[in-house]
Amino acid sequence: MFETKSGVVGIAGLFFFVFAFIVMGALPWTIYKDQPELTALQLAEKGIPHEFVDLAERFPQQFREYYGEPTTEAFAEAITLGRDVFVGEACWHCHSQFVRPVSREDIRWGPIAHAREYNNELQRPVLFGTRRVGPDLSREAGRKSNDWHIAHFYKPTNVVPSSVMPSYPWLFDEHRVPNKKGMAIIAYVQWLGSWLDVYPDYEKPAKSAPGSTDEPTSVAEQGHDTEENA
């Protein structure tokens, strides 16, 4: 086998596959195996984003019907359902939740993804995504208003004319008010990343390029805002 190029390449490929499995799979497991996986309620107890309370204030009748009061239990229920909607509607095909160490993604979406960001039940399985069609949503919380997300889910081209994202009118009632699933996915998207102790990274001043006279800008201002930048 070692006498031909194809044999050498085959052995090398097998070696690197095993090596990658150890580094990417087995090694992280040994490091984090003793750390408990957080539940949705434990995540909610870290703090309820004001966007969830805003939904309760903006649509009091509907919110009360779906979730009661904006408590930690209600928020845990909402982000759990929102995650199921995100998966069920295949949002993860175009919107990853993983900032990769390539193409200067950290400039657009903050620090490279770390294993500690995924140690909770809402990241089972981890939604790495398959394509970079839309922006990464790992740390989407607070980047845009609830109004923006409502308009975006109802008809994306209303806020991003070049968007290829489909409309989701079934997430709204006959009055175009978000229904239970609609509020849930908005709550989920507005939560992503907010539970991190170092959040929001994207608001930290970014250093100007060497020799530049420009004032430092936030990471958010450098690229994430619309799907046009994806």
3-state secondary structure of 132: coil
| pLDDT for residue 207 | 39
Same domain, 54 and 98: yes
Residues 204 and 91 both lie in one domain: yes
79 and 23 together in one domain: no
Same domain, 80 and 188: yes
Q: Tell whether 19 and 50 lie within a shared domain.
A: no
pLDDT-based confidence at 197, cuts 50/70/90?
low
- Give the mean model confidence (pLDDT) for residues 196-202: 57
Three-point CA angle 150, 139, 184, nearest 5°: 40
Q: How many domains does the chain have?
A: 2
CA 72/CA 85 separation, integer angstroms = 20
Q: What is the pLDDT of residue 217?
A: 35
For residue 157, give its domain range. Answer: 39-229
| Judgement on whether residues 29 and 116 belong to the same structural domain of the protein | no
CATH number at residue 133: 1.10.760.10
Closest CA to 150 of 129, 196, 181: 181
- 118 with 6, same domain? no
Residue 221 is predicted with a pLDDT of 38
Among 64, 28, 33, 47, which residue's Cα sits nearest to residue 190? 47
Q: What is the DSSP letter of 107?
A: H
Q: Which residues pair with 172 in a beta bridge?
A: 178
- The dihedral through the CA atoms of 74, 75, 80, 84 has a sign that is positive
205 pLDDT exceeds 60?
no
Residue 59 has pLDDT above 70, yes or no: yes
- 28 and 48 in one domain? no
Residue 212 sits in the same domain as residue 121: yes
Using DSSP's 3-state secondary structure scheme, residue 205 falls into strand
**In this model, does residue 148 exceed pLDDT 70?**
yes
Same domain, 4 and 101: no
Q: Which of 226, 85, 84 is nearest to 144 (CA)?
A: 226
Place of tokens 């009661």: 68
Tokens representing residue 136 in the block: 């990464």
pLDDT in tens, 33-56: 777 888 999 999 988 989 999 999
Same domain, 11 and 64: no
SS3 38: strand
One domain for residues 120 and 7? no
**How far is the C-alpha of 141 from the C-alpha of 154, rounded, in Å?**
19
Terminal-to-terminal C-alpha distance of the chain: 45
